[in-house]
Amino acid sequence: MKKLVLTGAAGRLGSYLREPLSKLCNELVSSDIVAHTGSLYDGERYVQADLADLAAIEALTEGADMIVHFGAIGDEAEFDAILQSNIVGAYNIWEAAHRNNVRRVVYASSIHAVGMYPKNEYIGTDVPHRPDTYYGLAKCFAEDLARMYWEKRGIEAVCLRILSCAKVSNARAVGSWLSYDDLVQLVTRSIDTPITGFTIAYGVSNNDRTPVDTSSASFLGYRPNDNAEQFAAEMFAQDGPLDPSDAGHMCHGGPFASVPLGKSGQAALKIEDDRKKN
């Protein structure tokens, strides 16, 4: 592959993807809204760009074979902020992909597109969208946009509904954990699978308590290696008894299912910023 574009490169997940992605192509163009990402890996170039700026995204993706689109506000926020970065940003990525004849977009969707389903419903990727926040609603928009650009314009898309990609720090994550190694495997398989069409897959490790049907990722060759069961006793003791009448405990979206619209869902998760240093 000649050129791969990674958005959200300065983010936590981007920090784990940059090095392996740089090995899959002649040139990795890493991009984010911030000024820089620190030192670069071999074959990597950095371009600062705002996802809400179509001209900038069109220039960024010129000549790209594929786009790995991870840039977004990664939390619930006021609607106008989500509108610019996550909704207009997604439109700009797919529209730029169309104008530049990009073959495929690998997209960081989220469990929050279906976050209001109760956790004791084992859901597949075929259930109707049921977002828990404006953030989740934007993921629904991007998945529908991706399907439409596949059906009308032939751009392949792999939408990865990531559950919780962070160090395990709460009882929910015992089911929802996606380790960084498994994230890298899932994104790599989404790129190197010769044909994907439009695909939605859940992004989660091989946890004993995985609450979603991961079978749609099978044809990608994704075989997760990590299992959060090793953290179960510690996390269940730490969090104590959970209230089944609290949507934040009972639903797939976790705290995003119970926070007021526009207010942070991440705040309750105490996620450690353990981004990879280079």
Catalytic residues, which ones? 135
> How many Cβ atoms sit within 10 Å of the Cβ of residue 80?
10
> How many Cβ atoms sit within 10 Å of the Cβ of residue 78?
12
Binding mask 67-86 for ligand NAD (x = CB under 6 A): ---xxxxx----------x-
Nearest to 116 by CA among 1, 254, 265: 254
Alpha-carbon separation of residue 242 from 168, 169, 172, 269 (angstroms): 17, 15, 10, 15
Supply the DSSP symbol for 227.
-
Q: By CB under 6 A, is residue 131 in contact with ligand NAD?
A: no
Helix residue spans in 85-228 (DSSP H): 89-99, 134-153, 173-176, 180-192
Q: By CB under 6 A, is residue 105 in contact with ligand NAD?
A: no
Q: By CB under 6 A, is residue 174 in contact with ligand NAD?
A: no
**Nearer Cβ to ligand NAD, position 13 or 140?**
13
Instruction: Choose the binding region for ligand NAD from 22-30, 45-53, 143-151, 192-200 (rule: CB under 6 A).
Output: 45-53
CB 103 within 8 A of CB 43: no
Shortest Cβ 107–ligand NAD spacing (Å): 8
d(CA 93, CA 45): 19
Instruction: Choose the binding region for ligand NAD from 49-57, 186-194, 207-215, 244-252 (rule: CB under 6 A).
Output: 49-57
Q: By CB under 6 A, is residue 259 in contact with ligand NAD?
A: no
Instruction: Choose the binding region for ligand NAD from 123-131, 161-169, 214-222, 242-250 (rule: CB under 6 A).
Output: 161-169
Supply the DSSP symbol for 127.
S
Which residue of 5, 11, 94, 171 would you call a contact of ligand NAD, by CB under 6 A?
A: 11
* Angle subtended by helix axes 180-192 and 12-22, to nearest 10: 50
**Which residue minimizes CB distance to ligand NAD?**
11
Q: Which residues here bind ligand NAD, judged by CB under 6 A?
A: 8, 10-14, 32-34, 50-52, 70-74, 85, 89, 108, 110, 162, 164-166
